[in-house]
Amino acid sequence: MTHAFVGAAMGECAVPPGAAPRTRVAMMAVGMIAANAPDVDLLYTNIIEEPLGYLLHHRGHSHTLPGLALIGLLIWSCLRLVPSLRSAIRGTERRWIVLIAAALASHLLMDAANGYGTHLFYPFSSRWVYGDAVFVLEPWFWVLLGTTLALNGGRRARLLIVLLSVALLGAVAAVGVLHPVMLVVMLVAASAAALTMRTRDRRSRAAAALIVTAAIFLVMPGVSRVAKARARTLAGLGDRDVVDIVADANPGVPWCWSVLVLQKGNEPPSKTLIARRGSLSLLPRIWPAASCASARLSQRAGPGDVPPTPPIVWHRRWQLDVDALRAVSAGNCRARAWLQFGRVPYLDNGRMLDLRFEAPLGQNFTSMAVDGPVGCPRFLTAWEPPRADVLMDSRQPR
């Protein structure tokens, strides 16, 4: 939905002055299609057994620069095949091309901003790029962009956008992902934004919403760096002790963060790693960590083994046997393929799973039985394993 809202706002900004209403609708529709098009990979993830198909191909080649170029060419070719659109495009080709390119690029950049990651620099690098800055579902974007598009739409479109946005906000609040206080704040903010922007023209509203959205994506990586540094300090670790820190802002509350610290164990670094999940507040005096949504949800699974403090609540702790992971990778091509995705890999009773997604709500979709079908699956990718720094033995095949 966020991608669609961004694409629609881009389409609004691309409409030529004096264009017919049909052209405006077409440009907004193309913007929405292009902004979501990279997720076409969901149609072919089943070419490999699950969960490998999803882990390796979703946010795979369709989320790379060559993939965007190919998708953009396909969208442009389809537009040229429709007679009514071909006539609307004539004389404004540059606007349509820029719209398609911008909407496609927005998808890749937005996906790169969270902890799931993309291959932003492929084919120059096959590494995953993690922004660790914006949660994959951020209600503030629904409020900001939804309000703008509702003002710009007709009566039916306005009603549909408002109902959809309110329903989504209510749903994330009902399951505990969005704090009730912030739900009220968002509804008040949406009303204030509507009153402020009601006198502006459509393009100005859409441009302002896109600028604010872009500003959030530019600011949040800096906040993420602060959160990671704070988590390292509260864990009592130095730079040499930390292997990685996965961070995600709580939806709607940018001062609350879910952190997963991967550190070296007390044994030699080649033997053991420790993973610790916690909820961090950057404003502990105003909003203690225990009030953050990630802390409240994690407490449903039971209290942690460390007393909570206002700045941070530690929830769970895992010990990663590096030698066991290396052994299963060396002798099992499916496990080796899985490690192309796993940023915090963990072996649990014959299953591999990524601790990033070991959450109190729902099952971990990365879980895979080590002893699966015999033989190597086809159509594997060649992404650089995120934990090649500590898990890949130089003697084993990649």
pLDDT for residue 397 = 40
pLDDT for residue 398 = 40
- What is the rounded CA–CA span in Å between residue 295 and residue 289? 7
CB 328 within 8 A of CB 347: yes
Q: Which residues of 126-149 are buried (b: 16+ CB within 10 A; e: fewer)?
A: ebbebbbbbbebbbbbbbbbbbbb
Q: Which residues contact 3 (CB under 8 A, 6 or more apart)?
A: 32, 35, 36, 39, 106, 107, 110
pLDDT for residue 396 = 43
**Per-domain boundaries in the chain:** 2-219
| pLDDT of the chain, 398 residues: tens digit per residue | 899 999 999 999 999 988 888 889 999 999 999 999 999 999 999 999 989 999 999 999 999 999 999 999 999 999 988 887 888 888 889 999 999 999 999 999 999 999 999 999 999 999 999 999 998 889 999 999 999 999 998 888 889 988 988 898 989 898 888 888 999 999 999 999 889 888 899 999 999 999 999 999 999 999 999 999 999 999 998 888 899 999 999 999 999 999 999 998 876 555 789 999 999 999 999 999 999 999 988 876 556 667 889 999 999 999 999 989 999 988 889 999 999 999 999 999 889 999 999 876 668 999 999 987 767 888 999 999 999 988 765 444 44
pLDDT for residue 301 = 58
